Amino acid sequence: MLINCAAYCDGRKLADIEIGAIHDYLQRPDCFVWVALQDASPDELRVLQAQLELPELAVEDALHGHQRPKVEEYGDCLFTVLHLLHHEPAQIEVGELAVFTGPRFVLSVRNRSEQRFLGVRARSEREPELLRFGPGYVLYALMDAVVDRYFPLVEQLEDELEQIEADIFGDRLPGRATVERLYLLKRRTTVLKQAAAPLLHDIGRLYGGRVPGQVAAVQDYVRDVADHLTRINASIDGLRDTIATAIQVNLSLVTIDDGAVTKRLAAYAAIFGVWTALAGLWGMNFEFMPELGWRYGYLFALGLITAACAALFIRFRRIGWL
Amino acid sequence: MLINCAAYCDGRKLADIEIGAIHDYLQRPDCFVWVALQDASPDELRVLQAQLELPELAVEDALHGHQRPKVEEYGDCLFTVLHLLHHEPAQIEVGELAVFTGPRFVLSVRNRSEQRFLGVRARSEREPELLRFGPGYVLYALMDAVVDRYFPLVEQLEDELEQIEADIFGDRLPGRATVERLYLLKRRTTVLKQAAAPLLHDIGRLYGGRVPGQVAAVQDYVRDVADHLTRINASIDGLRDTIATAIQVNLSLVTIDDGAVTKRLAAYAAIFGVWTALAGLWGMNFEFMPELGWRYGYLFALGLITAACAALFIRFRRIGWL
Amino acid sequence: MLINCAAYCDGRKLADIEIGAIHDYLQRPDCFVWVALQDASPDELRVLQAQLELPELAVEDALHGHQRPKVEEYGDCLFTVLHLLHHEPAQIEVGELAVFTGPRFVLSVRNRSEQRFLGVRARSEREPELLRFGPGYVLYALMDAVVDRYFPLVEQLEDELEQIEADIFGDRLPGRATVERLYLLKRRTTVLKQAAAPLLHDIGRLYGGRVPGQVAAVQDYVRDVADHLTRINASIDGLRDTIATAIQVNLSLVTIDDGAVTKRLAAYAAIFGVWTALAGLWGMNFEFMPELGWRYGYLFALGLITAACAALFIRFRRIGWL
Amino acid sequence: MLINCAAYCDGRKLADIEIGAIHDYLQRPDCFVWVALQDASPDELRVLQAQLELPELAVEDALHGHQRPKVEEYGDCLFTVLHLLHHEPAQIEVGELAVFTGPRFVLSVRNRSEQRFLGVRARSEREPELLRFGPGYVLYALMDAVVDRYFPLVEQLEDELEQIEADIFGDRLPGRATVERLYLLKRRTTVLKQAAAPLLHDIGRLYGGRVPGQVAAVQDYVRDVADHLTRINASIDGLRDTIATAIQVNLSLVTIDDGAVTKRLAAYAAIFGVWTALAGLWGMNFEFMPELGWRYGYLFALGLITAACAALFIRFRRIGWL
Amino acid sequence: MLINCAAYCDGRKLADIEIGAIHDYLQRPDCFVWVALQDASPDELRVLQAQLELPELAVEDALHGHQRPKVEEYGDCLFTVLHLLHHEPAQIEVGELAVFTGPRFVLSVRNRSEQRFLGVRARSEREPELLRFGPGYVLYALMDAVVDRYFPLVEQLEDELEQIEADIFGDRLPGRATVERLYLLKRRTTVLKQAAAPLLHDIGRLYGGRVPGQVAAVQDYVRDVADHLTRINASIDGLRDTIATAIQVNLSLVTIDDGAVTKRLAAYAAIFGVWTALAGLWGMNFEFMPELGWRYGYLFALGLITAACAALFIRFRRIGWL
């Protein structure tokens, strides 16, 4: 589905144009065309491939979807894939933004995601002195917008970890739900990592050393995106490491709690064991059991039982079993 | 066993030829020969070695089998080994495809696998503009076919992990079977990793920097295979990491469940302990136990026992032991 | 908030100057300006950006805060971010010091931290032979001051680990509190690592190979800071590794203790079980139980029970269950 | 102890020679001398050092033994140390083969091992077209022979792991013996890894880039050894990873089994608790307990007890505790 | 404290000299001065700094102590820090040896350690053909002496691990002491690793590629030290890995033992439960319990109880619970 197709010259928008007219604008000096598609059909993409001379393998990737984040050079066309992440409760949905960046055109294809980038176009059009850098600047602006949306996600996951921590070290012992939440949190960090880490690796080709012509003028900006990705990556790694520790620590706490219960159990067993055993003695039916005939035999028995149980109780209290 | 032997010129098939005639076709300009063997006998391979001047060490590797995936250069002959994976329930069978790629020939030798590559030949013959690139393109097409068959395998393993997850966090506590499934899943990811990771490493020699002549023209295609391998590799790593977490988390859940049972045990021990102990008291045979003679002594005893047990029951309910 | 703004010439302070006068001093040969801000407002920073021609992206980073530690080159302006760490009990607060280092100026912006650097300025002014190296020396002096403050922090964490160790291997079994302390300790090492590790990586650009002009003369000093960072990093890694081992070892000890309690429980169960069972026998109401009529039947019963229990007791003592 | 000392010219054996005559043969063009020692005494080695001008530090290493596997260049003499592994039950014995490779000589010194290399010499002498490559070929042949003997060892360890797996997932719960076997298996993989991994690293100097003159002509062969080492290394890494998982999984199974026993224990406690408690009720000696006088009171009691126990039994069956 | 100060010329000792005379000897061709200090006071070091023109930052490091092992170049002065390790029971004490190596002097400063290096000087003086290499050779000799003292330490730790293993897999179950020993062993490997690993990294600058002039002639010797360090490092890594496995395995064994005890407990509970329950039945006071009047009722009861308990006992034996 076509969302937008416009021609820009010297940083300013010339006009919304027809797809068929793209070829004309590509000839004009200092001009470039910016096209945005959503969930493009093969036909739409093939038409644009013909107009913009897009590389075959990249077009297939864009159609096929489910690519890893990457930056690839095909001759003078840069092909970039970015992951668009949407945080459902307990799960992260992954869409894609594929961007073809030629010397005179930018084509973005958004797949399986409702995240819109109209704001990027609007902001770019308000800053013609930057848009003048051409397709490379647009590529930067899109990457920047995508990556900036990773930050709140990282923060949500960090917040969630803090809530789980509060559960773990709180008053109630953590149960199955806590473990499952830790597990699902870990899985989501994996999705996030698979969005950020490969991109961080590939983006290194766009600044510093030999860089493709389109982005030569915007290297500082691209480095800024790389810096954000580095920060996100470090946060994710910290998060993953902490989750792993939390899983271990939680197991320790559960085991400690088990131990405490086993101790109480042992204490009950001892106290009631003594009581029942003593009572059992005087429940025997021997004919010659002198104390049975004593006047205060019963009181004596009760006293003895009480004393024995009390002694055990105090002992277990002191060693912390009860 | 010879499967196929044909000569190609300028991207089009000339003829199916005899092995003995290979040498003639190797002389013709713009021609190359494509030979496919399955579970080749030493004799068959020696005949072809003589015809194609294959490097000795590579031929030994192909005969011996059980190689790791690799790309090796012997003079102007590229020797490539790929793993063919077949997913049996709970196990992955590993076969091999060894490919010799010379300037004018391609020889593939398939060992211990029923996976066929006739489709690759058919498709290549339908696209003479690509087959024109020569033996390097055939090598690419074979690698692409092999690697594409890894994707459904990764997906099967991911599906299986999701089923195990459903078991782990489901209503019934996971038992021995779940742990065994996790273990076998881990083992299979190792097989998959050993197929993909070394190949990803070695394939880097076939694009980008200085590359062997045969593949110089198909570098973009080879890079596409490398991209697929990177994706597969990342999926496997994610899978392995998640399995490791699942094993830990499962242990935590089992321990939590143990703790819950221990608590119920302790609660039973306390309740029945009180009951039996009290009953034991009045079962004693002392002569002077005034309450034994009371009109409502029995009711009083029953009431006391019931009250004590009920109090304990309520207490244990409240702290979550019952 | 402006803290300080002074001009230096040939290593000696000329005067405290107005922000508006900075531009004049930048023209003088051998002079540089050193400005220090705290929690700068956007307006303050924008004024200085105009005076010093600071790079836009770096200024945005300084305003935005929450950057990772880094060293970035923007043309001939070096932009450095350092983490200022403040050790609250059980938590480390993170502030930032952003430093812009141009050929003729240094601007430091301190955010969310009460750590002051007046001492650095005072010491530098007392050593004009070093301050003569210019802005690069000031950058070094600030980095050195920040990094030196990491050492006591590392030591505090190491001390805390030793206290926890004393708890773990002490007389009382470690409980929930010990595990929580280990967890919080681990978290703080993560904060420390995220302050030191990225800086160590980036600081490598400031000595050895091709280095920015400002710091060319102070490379040995910068290498000294890098050496300190390496030392801190190694300490943190050792600490983290030891904490991980401590968590495992603590779990082992808890499990060992559980096992000891379970053994005592089994021993109680056996001893009282035998006692109660024997007493129960003679509590039966059969008419023909000859021993009930014996003269010393009761003594015999008591003796038998005592003997059985004593035998068990001795046995359990010997195998270490009691 | 001298095992062998022979001179070769143009790939063919000239004669078995005396140590004292070595120097003469070193002068002849296209000739080289191949000497083999076993558990050499310092004197023997010093004599050869004088004859062959061996580097001092390497000779000390060969005398001292207990070196790590390595390849070192001393001027135009290559010094190689290889580990000879012998699989005792539950342990791997480590011997060493030190090889000095000069432009005109090969000297191998075997220490603490009964593995013989006469077969290597015999095979080499049968292939003069290869032996013509000189000392470098002999070095290759020895390395190849040593490394090929690692394969059956890896397979033995893999077989042993499979047996342990069968134990772990078999009918009987794995006990102490299984854990000890896993531990000893892990230790042996460490020995194997320390034999293969450093050699794989160092062998890279003998092919590909700038290589010592002796091995320049046999690079393809050396690369073949490196390929074998890579394969062995990958197998070992897979093995170690699987052992680690097996240890974890085994712990999970033991914990699951514990849980099952605890459940049966709790179930017993409940069933016998109810029974004993009810029987205890009617064992009380109150005077007014009407049901004691009922005609079918006893049957009623038996019925009630049976019913209660059966209900519990059924309940525990259903939730899987019995 | 000054230990030694001597001048050497052409490999031979000229004389013990005064500190004040050092400057004179530095002028003579082919001469160098070798000074050794122990726990030097700032004053002593400042005097030598003036004489030898030592770099300021290095002198501060030497005074300050607690440096990581390292090799740093300051102009034509090499500054080396080595850790001196002393094995106290259950702990490793760390001292330091700082070595300044100039073109014409060597100055060693030993801190917090009683390890002496007089032997190194004596041996060097006996080998003038080596000492002729100058200060670089002395540096090598000191490094070699320090590193060689790491070997017995590694062996002690390995021996200790073997003792702990014997405990773990021995007859008695490992208790708290075993776990604590494993933990302390792990900590000591960390100290050892922090002594060896950074040195191994830095020493790479002293051989192979571009090396400082002082050590150019002794590169083979330095490489030999590096080789020793590599060996030590590999041993430590193996040790650490094995300790980690031992901790896990120990936990498994403890858990297995717990399980065995829980089974015995469950078996006792069942056997005594049946006995007590049956005896309780006939202890009830119903009037109409025909078996109570039987002639052999009591024997019948005893027989039934014995049979039930024996059946259970045999059953538990068979399944391994008793």
Angle, CA of D308, D312 and D313, to the nearest 5°: 115
| pLDDT at residue A209, as a whole number | 80
- Mean pLDDT for chain C overall: 92
Domain that holds residue C270: 255-318
**pLDDT above 90 (res D46):** yes
Distances (CA, A) of B252 to B168, C83, D173, D197: 11, 37, 20, 36
Model confidence band, residue E24 (pLDDT cutoffs 50, 70, 90): confident
Q: Are the C-beta atoms of residues C274 and C308 closer than 8 Å to each other?
A: yes
CB atoms within 10 A of CB E90: 12
> Would the CB atoms of C284 and E285 count as touching at under 8 Å?
no
Residues E87, E92, E95: CA angle, nearest 5 degrees: 95
Q: CA-to-CA distance for C313 and C275, rounded, in angstroms? A: 12
Q: Which two tokens stand for residue E12?
A: 């031979």
Read off the pLDDT of residues E136-175 as tens digits, 9 standing for 90 and up: 999 999 999 999 999 999 999 999 999 999 999 987 777 7
Q: Which two tokens stand for residue B304?
A: 């006391």
Per residue in C33-52, pLDDT tens?
999 999 999 999 999 999 99
Nearest to B288 among A257, A258, A295 (CB): A295
ipTM: 0.88
Mean pLDDT of A81-110: 94
pLDDT of residue B176: 86
Q: What is the pLDDT of residues E49-92, one digit of tens each?
A: 999 999 999 999 999 888 899 999 999 999 999 999 999 888 99
Mean pLDDT for the stretch of residues D231-252: 95
Give all chains having 3 or more CB-to-CB distances under 8 Å with chain A.
B, C
Tell me what pLDDT residue B65 has.
Answer: 85
Q: How confident is the model at residue C186, as a pLDDT?
A: 96
> Which of A252, A253, A305, A321 is most worth mutating to test chain C (most C CB atoms within 10 A of its CB)?
A252
CATH of residue E95: 3.30.460.20
Domain boundary (B69, B98, B130) is at: B130
Say how far apart CA E322 and CA E319 lie, in whole Å.
8
Q: Does A134 score more than 90 pLDDT?
A: yes
Is D241 within a domain?
no
Pairing mode, strands B31-38 and B105-111:
parallel
Beta-bridge mates of residue D86: D93
Percent residues over pLDDT 70 in chain D: 99
Contacts of A262 in chain C (CB under 8 A): 258, 261-262, 265
pLDDT in tens, C56-106: 999 999 998 888 999 999 999 999 999 999 998 889 999 999 999 999 999
Domain count, chain C: 2
From A9, A52, A51, select the one nearest A31 (Cα to Cα): A9
pLDDT in tens, chain B (322 residues): 899 999 999 999 999 999 988 988 888 888 999 999 999 999 999 999 999 999 999 999 999 888 899 999 999 999 999 999 999 888 999 999 999 999 999 999 999 999 999 899 999 999 999 999 999 999 999 999 999 999 999 999 999 999 999 999 987 777 788 999 999 999 999 999 999 999 999 999 999 888 998 899 999 999 999 999 999 999 999 999 999 999 999 999 999 998 889 998 889 888 999 999 999 999 999 988 988 999 999 999 999 999 999 999 999 999 888 8
Q: Which of D69, D103, D130 is the last residue of a domain?
A: D130
B148 within domain boundaries = no
DSSP conformational letter for A291: G
Neighbours of C88 (CB within 10 A): 8
Provide, as residue numbers in chain C, all residues whose Cβ is less than 8 Å from the Cβ of E248.
248
- pLDDT on residue C268: 86
Comparison of pLDDT for A23 and C197, the residue scoring more: C197
Does D159 map to a domain? no
Indicate the residue of E165, E241, E285 with minimum beta-carbon distance to D292: E285
Q: In this structure, which long-range contacts are made by residues A83-90, counting pairs with CB atoms below 8 Å and at least 24 apart in sequence?
A: A83/A146, A83/A194, A83/A195, A83/A199, A84/A110, A84/A113, A84/A115, A84/A146, A84/A149, A85/A149, A85/A150, A85/A153, A85/A191, A85/A192, A85/A195, A86/A113, A86/A114, A86/A115, A87/A153, A87/A156, A87/A188, A90/A184, A90/A188
Residue C135: predicted pLDDT? 95
Pairwise CB contact (< 8 Å): C262 & E261: yes
Q: Determine the average pLDDT of the residues in C295-300.
A: 92
Could you tell me which of D227, D192, D190, D233 has the C-alpha nearest to residue D207? Answer: D227
**Mean predicted confidence (pLDDT) in D31-45:** 94
Q: Is residue B167 part of a domain?
A: no
CA distance E267 to chain D (A): 8
- E280 in any annotated domain: yes
For position C144, what pLDDT does the model report?
95
Distance from CA of B11 to the nearest CA of A (A): 19
Residue C280 placed within a domain: yes
Cα–Cα distance between A103 and A274 in angstroms, integer? 91
User: Using CB atoms, which chains have 3+ pairs under 8 A with C?
Assistant: A, E
- Measured between beta carbons, the chain D residues lying within 8 angstroms of E231 are 67-68
Per-residue pLDDT tens over the stretch A242-256: 999 999 999 999 999
Whether the CB-CB separation of A68 and A198 falls below 8 Å is answered with: yes
pLDDT band for position D176 (cuts 50, 70, 90): confident
Compute the distance between CA of residue A122 and CA of residue B311 in angstroms, rounded to an integer.
Answer: 70
Sheet with strand D31-38: strands edge to edge: D12-16, D2-9, D31-38, D105-111, D91-101, D77-88, D70-74
Q: Which of A248, A251, A271, A292 to mutate to test the interface with C (most CBs of C within 10 A)?
A: A248
For residue C23, name the pLDDT band (cuts at 50, 70, 90): confident
The string of pLDDT tens digits covering residues C240-259 is 999 999 999 999 999 999 88
Interchain proximity E257–C255, CB inside 8 Å: no
Going by pLDDT thresholds of 50, 70 and 90, the confidence category of residue D170 is confident
Q: Within 13 Å, how many C-alpha atoms sit on residue E168's CB side?
A: 31
What band does C156 get if pLDDT is binned at 50, 70 and 90? very high
Domain boundary among B95, B130, B165: B130
| Span D200-232, pLDDT tens digits | 999 999 998 889 988 999 999 999 999 999 999
Pick from A175, A275, A297: which is nearest to B256 by CB? A175
Amino acid identity for residue D279 in this structure: A
Give the rounded percent of residues in chain C with a pLDDT score beyond 90: 78
D179, D279, D295 member nearest E277 (Cβ): D279
Rounded to an integer, the average pLDDT of E106-116 is 93
Q: Is residue C171 scored above 90 in pLDDT?
A: no
Residue D286 belongs to some domain of the structure = yes
Tens digits of per-residue pLDDT, D256-289?
Answer: 988 889 998 889 888 998 999 999 999 999 988 9
Residue C319 above 80 pLDDT? Answer: yes
pLDDT at D29 over 90: no
Is E280 within 8 Å of D284 when comparing Cβ atoms?
no
What percent of chain A is modeled with pLDDT above 90? Answer: 78
**A226 inside domain:** no
Report the mean per-residue pLDDT for chain E. Answer: 92
The string of DSSP codes covering E245-299 is HHHHHHHHHHHHHHHHHHHHHHHHHHHHHHHHHHHHHHT---S--GGGGSTTHHH
- Tell me: pLDDT of A55 over 90: yes
**SS3 labels along A96-130:** EEEEEECCCEEEEEEECCCCCCHHHHHHHHHCHHH
**For residue C305, what is the domain's CATH number?**
1.20.58.340
Tell if the CB–CB gap between E70 and C220 is shorter than 8 Å: no
